Amino acid sequence: MRKFSISSTFLFGLYLLFTALISALDAREKITAAEYQQRRDKVVSLMDNQSVALLSSGTTKARAGDLNFPFYPDPNFYYLTGCKDAGAFLLLAPQGIKIEGAAATQVLFLASGYNAYTGDLRGEVPVLDSSGAMVIADKKHFDEIRHQVLSRADALYVPAWPQGFLHDPISDKRFFIEREAKKAIKEKYSQLPIKSISAPLAQMRQLKSEQEIALLKQAASITSRALCEVMRSAETGMYEYDLQAILEYAFKRLGAEDVGFNSIVGSGPNAIILHYDKNRRCIEAGELVLMDVGAQYEGYGADITRTFPVSGRFSPAQRELYEIVLRANREAIQIMKPGVPFKEVEAKAAAVVADGLQKLGIIPEAKAVKNYLPHGVSHHIGLETHDAGEYKLLQAGMVITMEPGIYIPVESTDVDVKYRGIGIRIEDDILITPNGHEVITDEVPRTIAEIEKLMKEKGLGQIRIR
Ligand code: GLY
Ligand code: MN
Ligand code: MN
């Protein structure tokens, strides 16, 4: 028998193959440096030659002393840089910015040094492509460079300022952030028109790249599988937070870094509160539970709602309303394809709900549907749960929700008592494809038969803590 000896060349070859495979997998799971570069190049190509764009990642907010609330970078800034540092700035200038003897059209300013509280090595941008056009500069140069570019620019592009105002209770004065900022800029650079960069960024962000779609599918899969685990585990007498704990445990176990928004776990009449997230109530026998939840994966978040009976079986009245919502969800998704206006999809869902409620005698005419379906039923998802977009025509590459519902408040004395106190929403995430659409949240069941079957399976159950 011939003795087989593994040569070091062979082993090295295997090692190379293995590392190439690992990095290929890794690359699929992240937005690449090249993609961030393409996004910045596109913005620069849309700007007038003598203009400047300035984006900020935002600032941290203290919760107690040196402890901060979680920091989420401004989504437009993050979309262009992949940088999660607080207090960072991005300057874009088609005519070039002189910095440390070189000229660049894109400069990212970061604080340098080690942060002893967070352990972060500030100034590290893992996604930076050294071949890209962006230069990283120390933030200590920012004031000087900003002044240099703003004094000679003929327009300044900025994303929208944070909405709202700060109220000083002593002077009883309101400081509207946008008004105050614009006033201060005018005082310093009177010649400088201020233009919004939000619209072009929304046009870009509403069309997802292949990598963004892969990340959204991953977030949708994690969310779906976690919801299945919750449905297998739900029992009468659990608290809403028990279900939240099982869900978010599964999110983490499946690799999600965060929730994209506070998990909504509304049982019984709490399901009628659209964004209820207190999650403190004990779930009683026979009640429905509405869970509107989304895992976030590499910055991208899903948004799924399922409504299920805690006992594992829908009552006849719950069934009647559920079937209407399900039909609205299915029929509105069915018409999704490129070229269809957002408002047509919205109208379709509302019309199906209106028809169903009229047939049950809950509303006298279609326009009364808004009493029991008081919200829009479709939005983009992405870096933000309600993601940036124009909301005009559907286009291939968009990823949007469809989330019709029926909410009958307990005090609706004009509605048959059997329907009162019921809240139902069914929300799916849909990729618009060149020829139609693809539902990316099919891993979690939505029909009554499928849900009742799933709920018979054994789940994690009540995790006992001694
Ligand atoms: N989860 C919030 C929404 O569905 O819009
Ligand atoms: Mn939702
Ligand atoms: Mn939604």
Q: Which two tokens stand for residue 5?
A: 């000896």
Rounded to an integer, what distance in angstroms lies between the CA atom of residue 135 and that of residue 103? 9
Q: Are 165 and 348 in contact (CB under 8 A)?
A: no
Q: Which atom of ligand 1 is nearest to the CA of 375?
A: 5
Q: Cβ atoms within 10 A of the Cβ of 366, count? A: 14
Pick the residue whose CA is nearest to atom 5 on ligand 1.
386
Helices (H), 159-253: 177-188, 198-205, 210-233, 240-253
Q: Which atom of ligand 1 is nearest to the CA of 303?
A: 1
pLDDT at 100: 75
Q: Which ligand is nearest to the CA of 259?
A: 1
Is the alpha carbon torsion for 346, 350, 353, 355 positive or negative?
Answer: negative
CA 72 to ligand 1 centroid distance, Å: 18
CA 293 to ligand 2 centroid distance, Å: 6
Domains delineated in the chain? 31-203 (3.40.350.10), 207-454 (3.90.230.10)
Three-class secondary structure of residue 13 per DSSP? helix
Is the alpha carbon torsion for 177, 182, 188, 192 positive or negative?
Answer: positive
Q: Which atom of ligand 1 is nearest to the CA of 401?
A: 4
CA 270 to ligand 3 centroid distance, Å: 17
Q: Which two tokens stand for residue 426?
A: 């069914």
Q: Which atom of ligand 1 is nearest to the CA of 403?
A: 4
pLDDT at 138: 86
What stretches in the chain show pLDDT beneath 70? 1-28, 114-132
Ligand 1 pocket test target in 291, 292, 306 with most atoms within 8 Å of CB: 292
Rounded to an integer, what distance in angstroms lies between the CA atom of residue 222 and that of residue 249? 11
Pick the residue whose CA is nearest to atom 4 on ligand 1.
303
Q: Which atom of ligand 1 is nearest to the CA of 379?
A: 5
Concatenate the DSSP letters of all residues of 329-363 into one string: HHHHHHT--TT-BHHHHHHHHHHHHHHHHHHTTS-
Pick the residue whose CA is nearest to atom 3 on ligand 1.
303
pLDDT at 199: 94
Q: How far is CA 231 from CA 68, 126, 224, 310, in A?
A: 35, 38, 11, 8
CA 433 to ligand 1 centroid distance, Å: 23
Q: Which atom of ligand 1 is nearest to the CA of 294?
A: 1
Binding pocket residue ranges, ligand 1, CB within 6 Å = 261, 292, 303, 385, 403, 427
Rounded to an integer, what distance in angstroms lies between the CA atom of residue 402 and that of residue 326? 11
Is the alpha carbon torsion for 143, 145, 150, 152 positive or negative?
Answer: positive
pLDDT at 117: 62
CA 20 to ligand 2 centroid distance, Å: 38
Candidates 277, 226, 225; CA nearest to 247 is: 226
Give buried/exposed letters for 227-236 (b at 16+ CB in 10 A, else e).
bbbbbbbbee
Candidates 314, 313, 291, 297; CA nearest to 230 is: 291
CA 306 to ligand 3 centroid distance, Å: 12
Around 309, how many Cα atoms within 13 Å sit in the side-chain half-sphere?
21
Around 294, how many Cα atoms within 13 Å sit in the side-chain half-sphere?
25
Q: Return the biggest CA–CA distance within the chain.
A: 94
pLDDT at 119: 66
Return the CA Rg of the chain: 26
Per-residue pLDDT of 60-88, as tens digits, reads: 999 999 899 999 999 999 999 998 889 99
CA 201 to ligand 2 centroid distance, Å: 23
